[in-house]
Amino acid sequence: MIIKMDPLLIPAGCVRQAMNRHGMAGEPFLFGIDFEMKQGFFIDHPLENKEILFSIGEISNVGKDTALLSTPSTMLSGFDGPQLRVFPMPFEEYRSRFAIAHAGLLRGDSYLLNLTLRTPISTNLSLEQIFCRSKAAYRICLPGRFVCFSPESFVRIEGSSIRSFPMKGTIDASLPEAEKQLMGNYKEQCEHYTIVDLIRNDLNRIAANVRVERFRYIEKVKSRQGEILQSSSEIRGTLPGNWNENVGDLIFGLLPAGSISGAPKSSTVRLIQKAEAKPRGFYTGVFGLFDGISLDSAVMIRYIEQDGENRMYFRSGGGLTINSQAEDEYREVIQKIYLPII
């Protein structure tokens, strides 16, 4: 789904130009780019802006004592406390999409592909309330459009150092020996090796001395449905000292994010378009903040969107390889549907 154009949304090329211009001047900005790199948003003086709510690390334009947490909801009156109902796509429909993607993997069009779903949900929380309840490192909300509470960094630039933290591999933490299962799973190992190699190659196009600093470390994510374990790696490189002068070019040169597209990128994106049949919009795009000196950004996963009739949809996905099984992948994308815990 492409969110309809409005004054907040501008062509992606304009976002790129504005990023370069403000980066060269050392002026802070907030930006976002959709997966298809068709449109985005650009906000200067982001701490003063209230049209878009955001929190990136310790920087946010929303105070801690916000009234949004207690704003009454009319979406599902009659429930006490946060509620979530999920209406999953029938497995048969998922399997048909999986079959398109898997056939491409077998042909060699791709050797890692991220296949995603748009699942109808209902909740008694507004997008703003979901934003405020989340403890995720990266949060953003366009009221009436979408909210994202992402645990996945895209790139961080501090000084002349650029780092990326690709995230691949997820498991229910309540399963017996969950961490051992995740780290020992052959399919997950292949997926993680592939994405680390892809991100390393991406960074090599814009940075020098690219290396893997940490490989397959485990993090926990808490939700109302329980804990999830996920594995990430850290990759680092060195940028020229004047990187801020073309920061828009640098970021666009890394898109779409490898962890939520696949490898090789161009043929994989074409296969994704065939299997998913509709644009993703801002889901799996990126957003970030330049504070005048450093930049931090995130991949837009853990994402809920709202249409013009106030219906909500949770977007989730998972990586496929030739070793993937449709039943396992379907279970994973449904498991990833959750509300933030508070």
Q: What's the pLDDT score for residue 77?
A: 44
In tens, the pLDDT along 28-40 reads 999 999 999 999 9
For the chain, residues with pLDDT lower than 70 are 1-6, 64-81, 222-226, 341-342
Q: Which residues contact 145 (CB under 8 A, 6 or more apart)?
A: 3, 127, 282, 305, 306
8 A C-beta contact, residue 337 and residue 86 = yes
Q: Which of 29, 53, 47, 56 is nearest to 251 (CA)?
A: 29
In a domain, 104, yes or no: no
In a domain, 31, yes or no: yes
In tens, the pLDDT along 132-187 reads 999 899 999 999 999 999 989 999 999 999 999 987 777 778 888 887 888 887 87
8 A C-beta contact, residue 158 and residue 321 = no
**What pTM did the predictor assign?**
0.88
Q: Tokens 């161009």 belong to which residue?
A: 266
Q: Find the domain containing 154 and state its range.
A: 10-84+126-259+281-311
Q: What's the pLDDT score for residue 117?
A: 96
In a domain, 319, yes or no: no
d(CA 285, CA 36): 8
Number of domains in the chain: 1
d(CA 120, CA 141): 19
| Residue 278 main-chain phi, psi, to 5 deg | -135, 155
Q: What's the pLDDT score for residue 66?
A: 52
In a domain, 146, yes or no: yes
d(CA 199, CA 156): 13
In a domain, 338, yes or no: no
Q: What's the pLDDT score for residue 224?
A: 59
SS3 state at 241: coil
The pair of structure tokens assigned to 255 is 């898109």
Q: How many helices (H) and strands (E) does the chain have?
A: 8, 19
Q: What's the pLDDT score for residue 342?
A: 58
Give the C-alpha distances (Å, rounded to integers) separating 211 from 16, 156, 159, 222, 273.
Answer: 27, 15, 17, 30, 32
CATH code where residue 207 lies: 3.60.120.10
The pair of structure tokens assigned to 89 is 């796509």
